[in-house]
């Protein structure tokens, strides 16, 4: 079946080349990326070559859209042999390289007041940057979390969506009939939250294993759905409803296994991706006030799960060969997420974006690592030079409850209509369990060369 899919894609690409000008819009991108780690003890990342192909049929009531990505992902250190090249969103640890993935693949029918889409889709609900709290329909790929922009993290979901529009009102309804899990890095990969622990064993014959998650059965009962009612005007606002599996990861502790295997030490950390259904009700709005473009968002979630502090999981202080049952490490609580963001034009071609958002864990026990109020402040200063031939971004995020910080600086230069080159430096600080601190050995410089057509 999967080979048939691949053959269909190849045939389609060949056909689109022949008929492109007649009824197709074809565009694409090739992205070569190299990483220079700033900590010698951190997990290695090899250069990546990623490609993107987008195909759209010319405007008509019936349309087809495809967004295919693939290539060699240098952050994957151990390709898992029994996973197929074509990712189908059916595994949590889908570490393969080379890979192919449909980010989007759908057909749509539209009239003046109705649009229906069916296929693999990505949605963009909510209005905040980086962590929009109402944007829950797509699970994320956390295998390069924090490094990838928001839309690149999203995994396309097979879904049916409808939009009804009338005047300044619109109603979106989405049904995702099949469960698609979030994607996590292997514990040995650079962006694994356990990478600091793993990297301590770099020079030792230790093999970290990862247990596949127990994924909910792929039937209608494990689907998800959402409704979004929107109005545009002086204030653009929306009301959102979501019910389905929480796309944010939480790990269930099972048992730690340390055993000798073929001259090496095999370690299974016993942290397995877990999934829980939840419901969320949220609001978001955007408006302009003087030189400020403002947006705000809030969501109340019922039935979320949070992990307890890692120190309470039951890992032995002195590990030795054996099997160690771990303590229950999940806690259920409702939560309230809210945030406000703004764009401020400092001067021409200089835009300051600021955002503050907070998660309130309403029934928080002391066993959780997260505080009752978890806050992230985020700011980005974007500057264009030489008529936006050079773009710089200076970005910082701060989590005051744990003192975690992420800072990123990027310069990109447009060589021509087709070529762009960029350099990015990113650094992390904070305690080992915190959102940013867990990646503090991942400070790095990235170099990107992009060809688009």
Return residues touching another protein (CB under 8 A). Answer: 27-29, 59, 63, 110, 112-113, 115, 122, 124, 127, 129, 149-151, 163, 165, 167-168, 170, 232-234, 236, 286-293, 295, 343, 345, 348-349, 384, 386-389, 414, 416-418, 420, 452-453
Closest CA to 50 of 397, 431, 452, 346: 452
Residue pair 424/413 in contact by the 8 Å Cβ criterion: no
Residue whose CB is less far from another protein, 233 or 263: 233
Distance CA 154, CA 164 (A): 24
Residue whose CB is less far from another protein, 167 or 366: 167
The CA-atom distances, in angstroms, between 387 and each of 246, 347, 348, 382, 449 are 43, 14, 10, 13, 20
Total residues belonging to the chain: 453
Taking the complex as a whole, the smallest distance from the CB of residue 171 to another protein amounts, in Å, to: 11
Distance CA 1, CA 97 (A): 20
């Amino acid at each position: 079946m999967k080979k048939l899919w691949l053959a269909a894609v190849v045939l389609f690409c060949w056909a689109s080349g022949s008929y492109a000008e007649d009824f197709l819009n074809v565009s694409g991108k090739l992205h070569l990326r190299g990483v220079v780690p700033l900590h010698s003890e951190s997990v290695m990342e090899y250069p990546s070559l990623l490609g993107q192909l987008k195909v759209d049929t010319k405007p008509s009531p019936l349309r087809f859209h495809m967004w295919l990505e693939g290539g060699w992902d240098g952050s994957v250190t151990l390709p898992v042999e029994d996973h197929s090249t074509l990712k189908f969103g059916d595994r949590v640890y889908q570490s393969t390289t080379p890979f192919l993935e449909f980010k989007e693949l759908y057909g749509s029918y539209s009239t003046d007041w109705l649009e229906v889409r069916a296929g693999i889709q990505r949605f963009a609900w909510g209005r905040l940057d980086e962590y929009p709290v109402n944007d829950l329909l797509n699970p994320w790929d956390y295998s390069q979390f924090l490094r990838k922009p928001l839309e690149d993290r999203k995994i396309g979901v097979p879904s049916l969506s409808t939009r009804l529009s009338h005047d300044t009102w619109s109603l979106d309804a989405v049904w995702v009939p099949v469960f698609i899990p979030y994607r996590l890095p292997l514990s040995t990969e650079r962006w694994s939250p356990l990478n600091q622990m793993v990297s301590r064993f770099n020079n030792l014959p230790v093999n970290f294993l990862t247990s596949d998650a127990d994924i909910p059965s792929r039937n209608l009962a494990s689907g998800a759905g959402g409704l979004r009612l929107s109005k545009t005007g002086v204030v653009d606002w929306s009301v959102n409803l979501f019910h389905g599996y929480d796309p944010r990861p939480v790990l269930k502790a099972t048992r730690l296994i340390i055993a000798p295997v073929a001259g090496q030490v095999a370690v299974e950390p016993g942290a397995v991706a877990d999934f829980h259904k939840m419901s969320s009700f949220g609001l978001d709005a955007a408006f302009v006030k003087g030189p400020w473009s403002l947006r705000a968002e809030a969501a109340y979630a019922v039935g979320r799960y949070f992990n307890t502090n890692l120190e309470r999981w039951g890992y032995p202080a002195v590990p030795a060969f054996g099997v160690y049952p771990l303590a229950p490490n999940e806690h259920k609580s409702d939560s309230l997420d809210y945030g406000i963001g703004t764009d401020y034009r400092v001067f021409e071609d200089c835009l300051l974006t600021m955002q503050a958002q907070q998660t309130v864990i309403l029934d928080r026990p002391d066993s959780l690592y997260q505080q009752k109020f978890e806050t992230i402040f985020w700011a980005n200063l974007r500057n264009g030079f030489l008529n936006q031939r050079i773009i710089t971004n200076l970005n910082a995020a701060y989590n005051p409850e744990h003192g975690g910080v992420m800072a990123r600086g990027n310069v990109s230069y447009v060589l021509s209509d087709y070529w762009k080159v960029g350099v990015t430096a990113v650094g992390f600080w904070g305690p080992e369990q915190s959102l940013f601190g867990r990646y503090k050995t991942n400070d790095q410089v990235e170099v990107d060369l992009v060809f688009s057509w």
